[in-house]
Amino acid sequence: MGFDPSSVFLTFDIGCSSNMGDFLNGYALHGLHGRAIPTAIGMKLANHKMPVIAVMGDGGCYGEGGNHLLHACRGNHDITVLVFDNGVYGLTTGQVAPTAKKGFKSKSTPAGVIETPINPLSLTISQGATFVAQGFAGNQSQLAELIGKGIAHKGFSLINILQPCVSFNPTRSFDYYKEKTYLLPESYNAGDFRKALDEVEESVLQEKFPLGVIYETEKPVFTDGLIQLADKTLVDKSPITHLESILQDFK
Amino acid sequence: MNKKFLWKIGGEAGFGIMTVGLNFSKIAAHSGYHIFDYTEYPSLIRGGHNTYEVLVSPDIVGASKKTIDLLVCLNKDTFELDKERLARDSMVIYDGDEFAPEGNYQLISLPLRAILKEEEAKEIMLNNIALGASLALMDWDLKYLEEIFIEAFSKKGNDIVEVNKKVARRGFDYIKKNYSELIVKDFPIRQAETKVVLTGNESFSLGSIAADCGLYCAYPMTPASSVQTVLANYAEKTGMVVRHSEDEIAVINTAIGSSWAGVRSAVGTSGGGFALMVEGISLAGMLETPLVIFLSQRPAPATGMPTWTEQGDLLFAVNAGHGDFPKIVLAPGDVQEMFELTVKAFDLADIYQTPVIVLSDKFLSESHQSLDLQKISDFSKNYKPNRGKIVAQVQGQTYQRYQVTDDGISPMLIPGAKGIFYQSNSYEHLENGYTTEAADERIKQADKRNRKLETYLKKDFQKPEIYGDFNKSEIVFISWGSNKGPILEAMKELENASLIHFTHVYPLDQGILIPFFPEGKRYILVENNQTGQFGRLLRGETGIEIKEKLLKYDGRSFWPEEIIKYVKPRRI
Which chain B residues are Cβ-neighbours of A244 within 8 angstroms? 377, 380-381
Would you place residue A131 in the very low, low, confident or very high pLDDT band (cuts 50, 70, 90)? very high
Sorted by where each starts, the structural domains of chain A and their CATH numbers stand as 5-225 (3.40.50.970)
Cross-chain Cβ contact A246/B249 below 8 Å: no
Identify from B248, B426, B427, B434 which residue to disrupt to test chain A contact, counting A C-beta atoms within 10 A and taking the largest count.
B426
Architecture of domain B197-382: 3-Layer(aba) Sandwich (3.40)
Among chain A residues, CA nearest to B230: A246
Residue range(s) of every CATH 3.40.50.920 domain in chain B: 465-571
DSSP secondary structure of chain A: ----GGG-EEEE-SSTGGGGGGTS-SEEEE--TT-HHHHHHHHHHH-TTS-EEEEEEHIIIIIITHHHHHHHHHHT-S-EEEEEE-SEETTTTSEE-TTSPTT---SS-TT---SPPP-HHHHHHHTT-SEEEEEETT-HHHHHHHHHHHHHSSS-EEEEEE---TTT-TTS-HHHHHHHEEEPPTT--TT-HHHHHHHHHTHHHHT-EEEEEEEE-----GGGG-GGGSSS-GGGPPPP--HHHHHHTT-
Average pLDDT estimate for A1-19: 95
Q: Does domain B465-571 have CATH number 3.40.50.920?
A: yes
A-proximal residues of B, 250-269, CB under 8 Å: 250-251, 253-263, 265
Identify from B263, B322, B353, B402 which residue to disrupt to test chain A contact, counting A C-beta atoms within 10 A and taking the largest count.
B263
Predicted pLDDT at B2: 53
CB of A161 within 8 A of CB of A16? no
**Distance between CA atoms of B14 and B47, rounded to whole angstroms?**
7
Strands (E), B48-171: 49-57, 68-73, 86-94, 106-109
- Per-residue pLDDT at B197 exceeds 70: yes
**Distance between CA atoms of B11 and B17, rounded to whole angstroms?**
7
Predicted pLDDT at B1: 43
**Distance between CA atoms of B160 and B64, rounded to whole angstroms?**
33
Q: Which of A19, A27, A68 sits opposite B422 (nearest CB)?
A: A27
DSSP secondary structure of A82-139: EEEE-SEETTTTSEE-TTSPTT---SS-TT---SPPP-HHHHHHHTT-SEEEEEETT-
**Distance between CA atoms of B420 and B308, rounded to whole angstroms?**
51
Cross-chain Cβ contact A47/B249 below 8 Å: no
Average pLDDT, chain B: 96
Average pLDDT estimate for B359-378: 96
Residue B6: half-sphere exposure toward Cβ, Cα within 13 Å: 23
Q: A168-189: per-residue pLDDT in tens?
A: 999 999 999 999 999 999 999 9
Cross-chain Cβ contact B246/A67 below 8 Å: yes
Q: What is this structure's pTM?
A: 0.96
Q: How far is A98 from chain B (nearest CA, A)?
A: 20
Predicted pLDDT at B13: 85
Cross-chain Cβ contact A246/B209 below 8 Å: yes
Predicted pLDDT at B247: 98
B377 touches chain A (CB under 8 A): yes
Would you place residue B565 in the very low, low, confident or very high pLDDT band (cuts 50, 70, 90)? very high
Cross-chain Cβ contact A11/B435 below 8 Å: no
Q: Which of A37, A70, A234 sits opposite B241 (nearest CB)?
A: A234
The alpha carbon of B93 is separated from its chain's Cα centroid by a whole number of angstroms, namely 31
Residue range(s) of every CATH 3.40.920.10 domain in chain B: 5-192
Q: B521-530: per-residue pLDDT in tens?
A: 999 999 999 9
- Alpha carbon distances (Å) from B537 to B76, B349, B467, B480, B507: 45, 22, 22, 12, 9
B246 touches chain A (CB under 8 A): yes
Which chain B residues are Cβ-neighbours of A11 within 8 angstroms? 257
**Distance between CA atoms of B57 and B70, rounded to whole angstroms?**
14
Q: How far is B242 from chain A (nearest CA, A)?
A: 10
A-proximal residues of B, 28-87, CB under 8 Å: 29-30
A-proximal residues of B, 428-467, CB under 8 Å: 433-435
- Per-residue pLDDT at B43 exceeds 90: no
B286 touches chain A (CB under 8 A): no
The alpha carbon of B352 is separated from its chain's Cα centroid by a whole number of angstroms, namely 24
CATH placement of domain B5-192: 3.40.920.10
Predicted pLDDT at B3: 86
